[in-house]
Amino acid sequence: MTNILFLDESGDHSLSIIDPQFSVFVLCGVIMDGEYHQNIAAERLNAFKMR
């Protein structure tokens, strides 16, 4: 069984100079079964991106 981890970040990741107007950092992750990704999720995600 192979799992796949997708990570994405957004925001200000600098610790030395913090922008007071945008002092947010978000890190999000999704773990899914590799077979599920290959057979179901990839097709559905691509269809969603094309909308």
Structure tokens at 22: 């945008």
Q: Is 4 helix (H, G, I), strand (E, B) or coil?
A: strand
Would the pTM count as exceeding 0.95?
no
Q: Is the pLDDT of residue 15 over 80?
A: no
Q: Is the pLDDT of residue 18 over 90?
A: no
Listed in sequence order, the residues at least 6 apart from 26 whose beta carbon sits closer than 8 Å to its beta carbon are 9, 10, 11
pLDDT tens across 33-48, in order? Answer: 999 999 999 999 999 9
Total number of domains constituting the chain: 1
Average pLDDT on 4-33 reads 87
Range of the domain at 32: 3-50
User: Mean pLDDT across the chain, nearest whole number?
Assistant: 90
Higher-confidence residue: 51 or 31? 31
